[in-house]
Amino acid sequence: MSEVALRPARVALVGNPNTGKTALFNALTGSRQKVANYAGVTVERKEGHIVTAAGRALSILDLPGTYSLRARSPDEVVTRDAVLGKLAGEQAPDVVVAVADATNLRLVLRLILELKAVGRPMVLALNMYDIAQRQGLRIDLEGLERDLGCPIVTTVATRKRGIEQLTAQVDALIASGALSTENVWHEPSAGEIRGAHREAQRILKAYVRPPERPDTLTGKVDAVLLHPVAGLAILFSLLFLMFQAVFTWATPAMDGISAAFAWLGVFVGQALPDGLLKSFIADGVIAGVGSVLVFLPQILVLFFFIILLEDFGYMARAAFLMDRIMGGAGLHGRAFIPLLSSFACAIPGIMSTRVIDNKRDRLTTIMVAPLMTCSARIPVYTLIIGAFIPNTHVWGLSLQGLVMFGLYAAGIASALGVSFVTRRLFWRGAVEPFLMELPTYKLPSAESVLRNLLTRGQIFVSRAGRIIFPIMIVVWFLSTFPGPPAGATEPAINFSLAGRLGHLLEPLLAPIGFNWQMTVALIPGFAAREVAVAALGTVYSIGDADNHVGALATQLSNHWSLATGLSFLAWYIFAPQCASTLGVVKRETNSWRWPIIMFLYMTTLAYLSSLLVYHVAVAMGGG
Partner 1 sequence: MHDMLAEPIGATALDATSVATADCVRLSTVGPGDRGEIVDVRAESHPDGHGVDVHELQRRLLEFGFVEGARFEVLHEGAIWRDPIAIRLDDMRVALRRRDAEDVWVRLDRT
- Torsional class of 177: left (φ above 0), alpha (ψ -120 to 50), beta (otherwise): left
Q: How far is the CB of 523 from partner 1 (least distance, A)?
A: 41
Q: How far is the CB of 318 from partner 1 (least distance, A)?
A: 11
Q: Report 154-193 residues binding partner 1 (CB under 8 A).
A: 188-191, 193
For position 438 contacting partner 1 by CB under 8 A, the verdict is: yes
Q: How far is C-alpha 416 from the geometric centre of its chain's CA atoms?
A: 19
Q: How far is the CB of 102 from partner 1 (least distance, A)?
A: 12
Q: How far is the CB of 197 from partner 1 (least distance, A)?
A: 4
Which string of x and - marks every residue 348-377 that binds partner 1 (by CB under 8 A)?
Answer: ----------x-------------------
Contacts of 530 (CB under 8 A, 6+ apart): 376, 377, 378, 379, 380
Which parts of 149-212 fold into alpha helices (H)? 163-175, 190-207
Q: Report 291-330 residues binding partner 1 (CB under 8 A).
A: 316, 319-321, 323-325
- Count of beta carbons in the 10 Å neighbourhood of residue 210: 11
For position 218 contacting partner 1 by CB under 8 A, the verdict is: yes
Nearer residue to partner 1 within complex by CB, 186 or 393: 186
With CB under 8 A as the contact rule, which of the stretches 53-61, 138-146, 384-392, 426-434 interacts with partner 1? Answer: 426-434
Nearer residue to partner 1 within complex by CB, 15 or 525: 15
Nearer residue to partner 1 within complex by CB, 208 or 535: 208
Selected from 89, 228, 273, 485, the binder of partner 1 by CB under 8 A is 228
Please, are residues 269 and 286 in contact by the beta-carbon 8 Å criterion?
A: no
CA count, 13 A, side-chain hemisphere, 121: 19
For residues 569 and 613, give the distance between their C-alpha atoms in angstroms, rounded to a whole number.
9
Q: How far is the CB of 130 from partner 1 (least distance, A)?
A: 18
Q: How far is the CB of 293 from partner 1 (least distance, A)?
A: 39
Nearer residue to partner 1 within complex by CB, 226 or 281: 226
Contacts of 560 (CB under 8 A, 6+ apart): 387, 388, 515, 568
Q: How far is the CB of 321 from partner 1 (least distance, A)?
A: 7
Q: How far is the CB of 208 from partner 1 (least distance, A)?
A: 10
For residues 521 and 505, give the distance between their C-alpha atoms in angstroms, rounded to a whole number.
12
DSSP string, 293-322: HTTHHHHHHHHHHHHHHHHHT-HHHHHHHH
Q: Report 67-126 residues binding partner 1 (CB under 8 A).
A: 67-68, 70, 72, 104, 106-107, 110
Q: What single DSSP character describes residue 156?
A: B
For residues 471 and 462, give the distance between their C-alpha atoms in angstroms, rounded to a whole number.
15
Largest CA distance in the chain: 92
For position 275 contacting partner 1 by CB under 8 A, the verdict is: no
Nearer residue to partner 1 within complex by CB, 210 or 482: 210
Nearer residue to partner 1 within complex by CB, 22 or 68: 68
Nearer residue to partner 1 within complex by CB, 325 or 454: 325
Nearer residue to partner 1 within complex by CB, 68 or 167: 68
Selected from 287, 289, 385, 431, the binder of partner 1 by CB under 8 A is 431
Report how many residues bind partner 1 under the rule CB under 8 A.
49
Which among 265, 619, 303 is positioned nearest to 459, based on CA atoms?
A: 303
Q: How far is C-alpha 40 from the geometric centre of its chain's CA atoms?
A: 18
Q: How far is C-alpha 518 from the geometric centre of its chain's CA atoms?
A: 32
For position 149 contacting partner 1 by CB under 8 A, the verdict is: no
Q: How far is the CB of 431 from partner 1 (least distance, A)?
A: 5
For residues 308 and 453, give the distance between their C-alpha atoms in angstroms, rounded to a whole number.
10
Nearer residue to partner 1 within complex by CB, 358 or 515: 358
Q: For residue 422, what is the enclosing H or E element?
A: helix 399-425
Please, are residues 607 and 574 in contact by the beta-carbon 8 Å criterion?
A: no
Name the residue type at position 614: Y
Residue 544, φ and ψ in degrees, nearest 5: 50, 55
Residue 213, φ and ψ in degrees, nearest 5: -125, 75
End-to-end CA distance of the chain: 83
Q: How far is the CB of 196 from partner 1 (least distance, A)?
A: 9
For residues 226 and 230, give the distance between their C-alpha atoms in angstroms, rounded to a whole number.
8
Please, are residues 515 and 556 in contact by the beta-carbon 8 Å criterion?
A: no
Nearer residue to partner 1 within complex by CB, 55 or 429: 429
Selected from 226, 285, 403, 611, the binder of partner 1 by CB under 8 A is 226
For position 435 contacting partner 1 by CB under 8 A, the verdict is: yes
Selected from 138, 160, 197, 615, the binder of partner 1 by CB under 8 A is 197
Nearer residue to partner 1 within complex by CB, 71 or 410: 71
- Kindly calculate the radius of gyration of the chain based on its CA atoms and give it in whole angstroms: 28
Q: Report 451-510 residues binding partner 1 (CB under 8 A).
A: none
For position 273 contacting partner 1 by CB under 8 A, the verdict is: no
Q: How far is the CB of 322 from partner 1 (least distance, A)?
A: 9
Q: How far is the CB of 104 from partner 1 (least distance, A)?
A: 6
Residues that bind partner 1 (CB under 8 A): 67-68, 70, 72, 104, 106-107, 110, 188-191, 193-194, 197, 201, 210, 214, 218-219, 222-223, 226-229, 231-232, 316, 319-321, 323-325, 333, 358, 429-440
